[in-house]
Amino acid sequence: MHVNVEICLIPIGVGVSVSPYIATCQRILDAAGLHPQMHAYGTNVEGDWDTVMAAVKACHEAVHGQGAPRIHTSLKLGTRIDRPQTLGDKVQSVRSQLER
C-alpha cells in the first residue's frame, strides 16, 4: 500500500540543537529511496507502507545510537485506494484552486 507521511522526530535529552539527529534521519529516508522533503517542522515522504515504516524505525534506532535517551515522533499518515496520488499532486491540487 502507498502511504504519504509527515514525520516530526524530536530527540529529547540532547540539548538545544537537534540538527545532527535530523540530518541522520534525512540520510536514512533518502537511502530508503523515499526522497524526503524537509520543511521547518518535519519531513514529508511517500512510498510503500513497509518501506516507510522500516525507515522510521531505522531513524529511531540511529538517533538512539547517537545518544538520544528519548525520542518523540509524530506521524501523519494518508492512504487512498481509489487512485494514485503523490505529495506533489496534493500540492498542485490546491495551487490550481488558488489560480482560479
- Domain assignments of the chain as residue spans, ordered by start: 2-99
Q: Is residue 85 scored above 90 in pLDDT? A: no
* Amino acid type, 3: V
Pick from 8, 20, 49, 9: nearest CA to 32: 49
- Three-state secondary structure call for residue 32: coil
Predicted structure pTM score: 0.89
pLDDT tens for 8-55 read 999 999 999 999 999 999 999 999 999 999 999 999 999 999 999 999
What is the model's pLDDT at position 29? 98
User: 2-99, which class in CATH?
Assistant: alpha beta
Q: Where are the alpha helices (H) located in the chain, listed in sequence order?
A: 19-31, 49-65, 87-99
How far apart CA 49 and CA 3 sit, in angstroms, is 6
